[in-house]
């Protein structure tokens, strides 16, 4: 009968190879790069054991494992700084390194094969949570998510830090805080504590936002000095702006029971044809008929009937006005 001796890694270590040092333990490491292995990403994680540097090729632990139920993420890698197998104590100080700090466990009893169990907060990152409050905060590649003590939920877009290139080399101290491009950062969406939904840009001047106010039954759109408010209960739309311009390629149609326009200076209407009236009565056509009737009018004088107005030498001026009115007359 043949068999083989199985060595428990907690009792037996092959001291001839650093790959088998403490192969059964969990370690803290930093992701230094990612590799494509048989169409699946694996991550090279730098960890230390007994003063030795060990680089493990790790799979990512997922909450879901089906073909259609899965999650993926790519970490921010730290460059491989060429640290020797026998590491110096300073090399283990991850606070001076950029990259995802993770907890890894060995697989198959070998140190170079592992699985990433989860992430730890980077030692160079200071907490933003408020003391004695229930809250949540996370950031992934410039997309910041927070939930405050009242349950308000907010996602803020900041973009990739513009100083991320400074992190590709050994650092004398903890990594600097991220700096973001002010022209693109600040867009956000939020559910506040009252259930209202808000989209905005957090601009310090001329801010823009869309607010669905669930409590008051209103939708408010703000862009700088422009405000549009939709009031559900009153069926009312309010618009406040310095100027309003409507341009369409075909037509604009307004139907209402009553229209009121007030202007303190001037009202202009410019069109090739204009029709104002109701039913079969059109204002400009009525003016033309009035001119025609007025031209045929005969006034009696003490000496007898006068000639009609249209016989006057000056009537041609009236006909010119009548012709201009005809040129812009429209139909209802």
pTM reported for the whole predicted model = 0.69
If one counts every other C-beta atom within 10 angstroms of the C-beta of residue 71, the result is 9
Which H or E run contains 210?
strand 208-213
- Across 142-161, b (16+ Cβ under 10 Å) vs e yields bebebebeeebebebbbbeb
Joined tokens for residue 209: 């936002």
Query: Comparing C-alpha atoms, which of 290, 281, 285 is closest to residue 327?
Result: 285
3-state DSSP call for residue 44? strand
Cα–Cα dist 280/332, whole Å: 7
Cα–Cα dist 53/91, whole Å: 9
Cα–Cα dist 316/310, whole Å: 8
Cα–Cα dist 299/281, whole Å: 28
Joined tokens for residue 208: 């823009």
Task: Give me the tens of pLDDT residue by residue for the chain, a chain 332 residues long.
Answer: 344 444 444 444 444 444 445 556 788 899 988 888 888 888 999 888 777 788 888 888 888 888 888 888 887 777 776 655 555 555 567 877 778 899 998 877 676 788 888 888 888 778 888 788 888 998 888 899 999 999 999 999 998 888 877 766 666 667 777 888 988 899 999 999 999 999 999 888 899 999 999 999 999 999 999 999 999 999 999 999 999 999 999 999 999 999 999 999 999 988 899 999 988 899 999 999 898 888 888 888 787 788 888 888 888 898 899 999 999 988 88
């Amino acid at each position: 009968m043949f068999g083989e001796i199985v060595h428990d890694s907690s009792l037996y270590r092959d001291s001839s190879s650093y790959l088998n040092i403490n192969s059964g333990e969990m370690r803290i490491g930093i992701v230094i790069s990612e590799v494509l292995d048989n169409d699946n990403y694996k991550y090279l994680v730098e960890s230390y054991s007994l003063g030795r540097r060990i680089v493990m090729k790790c799979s990512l632990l997922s909450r879901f494992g089906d073909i259609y139920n899965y999650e993926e993420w790519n970490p921010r890698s730290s460059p491989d700084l060429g640290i020797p197998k026998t590491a110096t104590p300073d090399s283990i100080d991850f606070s001076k390194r950029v990259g995802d700090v993770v907890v890894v466990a060995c697989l198959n009893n070998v140190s170079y094969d592992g699985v990433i169990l989860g992430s730890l907060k980077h030692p160079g990152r200071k907490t933003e949570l408020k003391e004695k409050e229930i809250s949540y905060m996370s950031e992934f590649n410039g997309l910041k998510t927070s939930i405050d003590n009242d349950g308000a939920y907010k996602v803020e877009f900041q973009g990739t830090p513009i100083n991320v290139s400074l992190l590709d080399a050994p650092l004398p101290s903890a990594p600097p805080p991220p700096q973001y491009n002010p022209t693109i950062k600040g867009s956000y969406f939020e559910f506040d504590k009252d259930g209202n939904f808000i989209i905005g840009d957090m601009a310090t001047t001329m801010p823009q936002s869309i607010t669905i106010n669930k409590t008051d039954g209103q939708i408010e759109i703000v862009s700088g000095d422009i405000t549009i408010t939709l009031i559900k209960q009153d069926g009312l739309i309010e618009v406040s702006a310095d100027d309003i311009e409507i341009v369409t390629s075909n037509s604009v149609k307004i139907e209402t029971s009553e229209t009121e326009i007030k202007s303190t200076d001037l009202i202009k209407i410019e069109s090739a044809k204009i029709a104002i009236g109701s039913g079969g009565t059109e204002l400009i056509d009525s003016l033309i008929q009035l001119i025609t009737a007025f031209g045929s009018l005969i006034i009696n004088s003490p000496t007898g009937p006068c000639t009609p107005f249209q016989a006057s030498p000056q009537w041609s001026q009236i006909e010119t006005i009548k012709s201009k009115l005809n040129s812009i007359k429209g139909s209802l």
